[in-house]
């Protein structure tokens, strides 16, 4: 079955981690996938190659998010390859290293909001003329915005909190076009963004916080995104979907 046959999807930050898993899953479901990346061209090409090897269709495009005119440049690159959009996954994001609020500089704070909140806002704004009626928007949030306060990630959680508000508000506006807007909220996912952060006792502790007894995988998140990108999710919009393996229970 190819539930997304004939669809075109864009996954920001699609070269690694959760983004790569999402891009590959959407391609397996039949979508032609635009794999966006910021700087790691090799990773993006590896993702595209993996999709093609599995019989899918994909192309890559480079734009550094969080910079002036980033959305305009991203869509100009997209338009060179495709003439429509059906699915937008706002996945790209960054973390700060911050032991607490007293260690967060204005530059760090503004940078994390530029990438995690401002970029998805304007990428989506410019996506709307291209997005088909009945299309799908999926934003990647975090469990840190609800019920799991971590002082060491205060600016990251705040930026994702803005994305949550964006999700519910935009869902109401776009409903008349049959476009759904939802957010997925992963818990701790075993990706390279956490390299050097989750080791030893910390890894054991975090795995124990889920009643499932393990960390999440990128595929755990990608499969939920695939549902929200499909026709099966047509009656789900404006939702914050917990993808934490029960960590918030």
- Give the catalytic positions in this structure: 156
Helices (H), the chain: 17-28, 41-53, 70-79, 106-113, 119-127, 154-174, 200-208, 218-229
| CA–CA dist 208, 90 (Å, integer) | 29
| CA–CA dist 120, 105 (Å, integer) | 22
| CA–CA dist 9, 25 (Å, integer) | 11
Q: Report the residue count for the chain.
A: 249
Helix 119-127 / helix 70-79 crossing angle, nearest 10 deg: 40
Judge residue 211's burial from the number of C-beta atoms within 10 Å of its C-beta, 0-12 exposed, 13-18 middle, 19 or more buried: exposed
Pairing type for strands 32-37 and 180-186 reads unpaired
Beta-bridged to residue 87, according to DSSP, are 9, 136
| CA–CA dist 231, 221 (Å, integer) | 18
Question: Shortest CA distance to 161 belongs to which of 177, 179, 178, 146?
Answer: 146
What is the number of helices (H) and of strands (E) in the chain?
Answer: 8, 7
Two structure tokens written together for 18: 């959760």
> Is-contact 101 47, C-beta < 8 A?
no
Give the count of alpha carbons within 13 A of 37, CB side only.
19
């Amino acid at each position: 079955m190819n539930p997304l046959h004939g669809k075109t999807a864009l996954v920001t930050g699609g070269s690694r981690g959760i983004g790569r898993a999402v891009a590959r899953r959407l391609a397996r479901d039949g979508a032609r996938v635009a794999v966006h990346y910021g700087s790691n061209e090799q990773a993006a090409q590896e993702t595209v190659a993996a999709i093609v090897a599995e019989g899918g269709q994909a192309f890559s495009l480079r734009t550094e998010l969080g910079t002036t005119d980033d959305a305009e440049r991203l869509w100009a690159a997209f338009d060179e390859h495709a003439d429509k959009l059906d699915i937008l996954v706002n996945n790209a994001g960054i973390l700060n290293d911050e032991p607490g609020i007293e260690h967060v500089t204005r530059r760090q704070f503004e940078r994390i909001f530029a990438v995690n909140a401002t970029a998805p806002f304007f990428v989506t704004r410019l996506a709307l003329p291209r997005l088909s009626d009945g299309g799908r928007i999926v934003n990647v949030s975090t469990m840190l915005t609800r019920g799991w306060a971590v002082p060491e990630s205060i600016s990251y959680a705040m930026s994702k909190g803005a994305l949550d508000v964006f999700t519910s508000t935009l869902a109401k506006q776009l409903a008349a076009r049959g476009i759904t807007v939802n957010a997925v909220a992963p818990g701790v996912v075993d990706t390279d963004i956490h390299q050097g952060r989750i080791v030893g006792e910390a890894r054991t502790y975090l795995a124990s916080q889920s009643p499932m007894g393990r960390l999440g995988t990128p595929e755990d998140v990608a499969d939920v995104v695939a549902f929200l990108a499909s026709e099966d999710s047509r009656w789900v919009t404006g939702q914050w979907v917990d993808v934490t393996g029960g960590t918030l229970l």
